């Protein structure tokens, strides 16, 4: 199985996992990226079995609508049973790095509302210590240089992601070469820098279930 085949397999496994629990009025949260796109495509044939979805990005909203899946504003929804999304990296503690597609802030908001976060990844994303993948940080544009200096004083190498504007009108700084030994503390620390909207560590609200694609098939990892 190549990486795309593993992504498709975990996407189908996620649909199979949530379908028995969906009711006609259920609304689910849907993430962003190529694995999330496989999930949307697999979900489409069941669109009459649930009410619709909250999207974590404009791109995801567009893809949901292409499949005639109703897209809801999060403010009109009091509860989401599931949030299904990919990740750029994950560790044994169900901590994640997300934001490779620059959708981290909306992803984090939708994940916060959902009762259960099912993360769909292939095995290439697994690490012992987070930080091999540059950590995305969404920043208010006028704070770019200030936040860059604050990050440089920590550890790692901040790099402005040229040409990227988030759905919220902000910029992304990627923090390279950082070993994240305590993801929960580092997540909170970065969020305390003025001008940071949020960062791509999903540790204080990590995944509840990880569906990991391997060449041998999909493994289901659950928190104890």
Q: Which residues bind ligand 5RP (CB under 6 A)?
A: 31-35, 85-88, 98-104, 107
Distances (CA, A) of 35 to 68, 149, 155: 19, 34, 31
For the bound state, the minimum distance from the C-beta of residue 43 to ligand 5RP, rounded and expressed in Å, comes to 15
Pick 143 or 199: Cβ nearer ligand 5RP: 199
Helix axes 58-66, 34-43, angle to 10 degrees: 30
> Nearer Cβ to ligand 5RP, position 146 or 160?
160
In this complex, which beta carbon is closest to ligand 5RP, that of residue 72 or of residue 85? 85
* Token pair belonging to 72: 């809801």
- Smallest gap from residue 63 Cβ to ligand 5RP (A): 13
E runs forming strands in 31-134: 52-55, 80-85, 89-90, 96-97, 114-122
End-to-end CA distance of the chain: 29
Euclidean distance between CA atoms 188 and 199, whole angstroms? 9
Helices (H), 21-129: 34-43, 58-66, 104-113
Output the smallest distance, CB 155 to ligand 5RP, in A.
22
Catalytic positions: 107
**Token pair for residue 29?**
């949260």
To the nearest 10 degrees (0 to 180), the angle between helices 34-43 and 3-18 is: 50
């Amino acid at each position: 199985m190549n990486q795309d085949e593993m992504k498709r397999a975990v996407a189908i496994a996620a649909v199979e996992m949530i379908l028995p629990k969906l009711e006609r009025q259920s609304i689910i949260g849907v993430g962003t990226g190529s694995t999330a796109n496989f999930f949307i495509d697999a979900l489409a044939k069941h669109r009459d079995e649930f009410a619709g979805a909250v999207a974590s990005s404009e791109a995801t909203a567009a893809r949901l609508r292409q499949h005639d899946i109703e897209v809801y504003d999060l403010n009109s929804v009091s509860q989401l049973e599931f949030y299904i999304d990919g990740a750029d990296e994950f560790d044994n503690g169900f901590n994640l790095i997300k934001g490779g597609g620059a959708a981290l802030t909306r992803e984090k908001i939708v994940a916060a509302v959902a009762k259960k976060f099912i993360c769909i990844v292939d095995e290439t994303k697994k690490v012992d210590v987070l930080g091999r993948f540059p950590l995305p940080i969404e920043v208010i544009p006028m704070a770019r240089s200030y936040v860059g200096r604050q990050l440089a004083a920590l550890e790692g190498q901040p790099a402005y992601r040229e040409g990227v504007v988030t759905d919220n009108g902000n910029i992304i700084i990627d923090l390279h070469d950082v070993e994240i030994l305590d993801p929960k503390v580092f997540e909170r620390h970065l969020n305390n820098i003025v001008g940071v909207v949020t960062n791509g560590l999903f540790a204080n609200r990590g995944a509840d279930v990880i569906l990991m694609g391997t060449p041998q098939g999909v493994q289901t990892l659950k928190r104890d």
